[in-house]
Structure 1
Amino acid sequence: MTQTISEDTFLAMVQPLRRELLAHCYRMVGSVHEAEDLVQETYLRAWRAFHGFESRSSVRTWMYRIATNTCLTALEGRARRPLPTGLGAPPSDPEGDLHSHPEVPWLEPVPDEVLWGRAPDDPEATVVDRESVRLAFVAALQHLTGQQRAVLVLRDVLAWHADEVAEALGLSVGAVTSTLQRARAHLQRVQQAGATPAPLPADDPRVGELLESYVEAFEHYDVDRIVSLLTADATWDMPPYTDWYVGAEDIGRLIRTQCPASGPESMRMVATRANGFPAFGMYMLGPDGVHRAFQLQHVTVTEGGVAAVTAFFDTSLFRLFGLPDELPLT
């Protein structure tokens, strides 16, 4: 039976799904900006096609089908969104030249506020699992083809049955099964190559204590202390620079030789959260005495210390995270 409803009624049915659909599109494309556009396109396609919705599946399942295929169309012919650690090059010399490539469509972080900031409008709305939007997981997904991403996310993240995935993507069940096997194997290889120790839970008191020391070390430009807070095999990357670094000592050399800070109070850090993890907007002191947006750090804290930092130099991300472009004078 076809549906005849008003636009207001339609929006009341689908609007509670926006948060989880945004997370889904973000996993697929690796950009929160693109994901927001794709969710909007999903809603437009769904409204245009709703007269043909026959209630053979739930509205949620139907919307995910549209969103997935919208993402697959958007991914056609596009390069993946990497992080520098995923480009396949060896670690860089911390005292060597930096190589910036802003033209590369880099992986973007997603603010926690976007996914979990407000209570769902629908008490039955699916809560986005933090593990499913971890930066490392989304980065690993970018190594898969669009179809592999879709199959793996629908099967392993959303727990759809193989026949549901097959119907959604226009594939046979056998094709879904083989695609899933290849996707899982490739994902496992990627994750093993860049494996870090398990992060501490957000509510572990050690996280807050370590991050407080981390912020103090940067704001005092105490490089020795920064090094002491990193794990011995910590990684550091900073898109749009293709260079990346391994090891606390090399990261310390990088900060000493490449960071424009001149001493204590050169840098200020403002806490936020990205992809379910701690993050900081870093502000650098200018010659006029004003601290301006410099980089957004996504920080992974493990039992041994800070194990990974991705410092995004795209300062347009600050507004996405609700951070100001500059800090007031103190």
Structure 2
Amino acid sequence: MDFERVVADHRRELLAHCYRMLGSMQDAEDALQETLLAAWRGFGAFEGRSSVRTWLYRIATHASIRLAQRRRPRLLSAEYGPSRLSTDELGEPVAGPVFVEPWVEEPVEDRYLRREAVELAFVAALQHLPANQRAALILREVLEFSAAEVADLLDTSTASVNSALQRARKTVDERVTGPSQRDELAALGDDGCRELVDAFVSAWERADVPQLVSLLAEDARFTMPPLPAWFDGVDAVAGFLTDRLFASAWRLTPVPVNGQLGFACYQQRDGAYALSAVNALTVRDGRIAEITGFIDPAVLGLLEFLPAQR
């Protein structure tokens, strides 16, 4: 077998696995590189007692567990600090690996990438689990390995896996309530999603705050990690949009973010448009319940595949 070809077949899904484990594209890239190096070193001794895919997942899972045990869990903005009412001061970007980062999909989706399994609420909930519980839940319920296979991958017993799964499910169920974004978007239908996207893009690019506000739920939130400031409730969000957001022009390109409706957001600077944010929309009953605007330059720098704007 040719190592490069085998790895190419699984690289994207392994990256998604590391991302679910770590809640960060930057950390996921680090774990993937550690995985590929270990796999390359051990490829000659691979005996084929499992599939290559299972073997790679074993390496990637343990690499992610080791990294997770050295890092504090990634958070959503609402878990880091209280919301704000004043738009005068948004605070300095929080230093260090603190916030959950976005998963921005490339045009070709992988067959093993279940989009609902990278939704922001689910990935954020996973970060509250001990690393071994996190791995057991992802391997069993997202990747659909059997309990015996998970036990083998984690070098433990099936009984231990089932116990970890029970505790992990309880924690995740307490933090992820209501329908998934996949179900919300399915309820909207293709036409409804298209209408919502078109209305959002049109209002944002025209700086039409009343139109944007009309798309929001009453308890809508606007967050912008790594800034500590976030706004809770439609009135607070409207105040932020009015006071701070539209000092310069924007262009938006729809792109899936964490399996949700999302946008690459380009802000005009010195006559040109530069990628300045990636927005993920959380939808509930046809309205926007949250806008998560990721603005970390280090994260945006990983998204080289996004189209440029002129």
TM-score by length of 1: 0.83
Aligned partner of 1:47 in structure 2 is: 40
Q: 1:119 to 1:303 in 2, by over 3 A?
A: closer
Question: Unaligned stretches of 5+ in structure 1?
Answer: 121-125
Aligned partner of 1:269 in structure 2 is: 252
Aligned partner of 1:282 in structure 2 is: 265
Please state if 1:164 is matched with 2:149: yes
What is the 5 A alignment of 1:70-81? Answer: 70-81=63-74
Q: 1:255 to 1:27 in 2, by over 3 A?
A: same
Q: 1:185 aligns with which of 170, 185, 193?
A: 170
Matching residue's letter, 2:123 = V
Aligned partner of 2:137 in structure 1 is: 152
Q: 1:108 aligns with which of 89, 92, 101?
A: 101
Q: 1:128 aligns with which of 85, 91, 113?
A: 113
Matching residue's letter, 2:17 = H
Q: CA deviation at 1:195?
A: 8.5
Q: 2:159 aligns with which of 174, 178, 190?
A: 174
Please state if 1:308 is matched with 2:290: yes
Q: CA deviation at 1:33?
A: 2.8
Q: 1:204 to 1:197 in 2, by over 3 A?
A: closer
Q: CA deviation at 1:81?
A: 1.6
Q: 1:194 to 1:80 in 2, by over 3 A?
A: farther
Aligned partner of 1:226 in structure 2 is: 212
Separation in structure 2 between the aligned mates of residue 129 and residue 119 of structure 1, nearest angstrom: 9
Q: 1:42 to 1:289 in 2, by over 3 A?
A: closer
Aligned partner of 1:97 in structure 2 is: 89
Q: CA deviation at 1:177?
A: 1.7
Separation in structure 1 between the aligned mates of residue 64 and residue 180 of structure 2, nearest angstrom: 28
SS at 2:177's partner residue?
Answer: helix
SS at 1:226's partner residue?
Answer: helix
Matching residue's letter, 2:90 = L
Can you list the C-alpha shifts for 1:189-223, whole angstroms capped at 9, x where unaligned? 12139998952138621111111111111122111
Separation in structure 2 between the aligned mates of residue 60 and residue 241 of structure 1, nearest angstrom: 38
Q: 1:194 to 1:302 in 2, by over 3 A?
A: closer
Q: CA deviation at 1:119?
A: 7.3
- Using the aligned pairs only, state the percent identity: 39
Q: CA deviation at 1:316?
A: 4.1
Aligned partner of 2:281 in structure 1 is: 299
Q: CA deviation at 1:324?
A: 6.4
RMSD value over aligned CA atoms? 2.7
Question: Unaligned stretches of 5+ in structure 2?
Answer: none
How many residue pairs were aligned?
307
Matching residue's letter, 1:99 = G
SS at 2:6's partner residue?
Answer: helix
Q: 1:74 to 1:132 in 2, by over 3 A?
A: same
Q: CA deviation at 1:295?
A: 2.1
Q: CA deviation at 1:23?
A: 1.0
Q: CA deviation at 1:97?
A: 3.2
Separation in structure 2 between the aligned mates of residue 203 and residue 284 of structure 1, nearest angstrom: 30
Aligned partner of 1:123 in structure 2 is: none
SS at 2:275's partner residue?
Answer: strand
Can you list the C-alpha shifts for 1:38-81, whole angstroms capped at 9, x where unaligned? 22321221232234433222221111111100111122221112
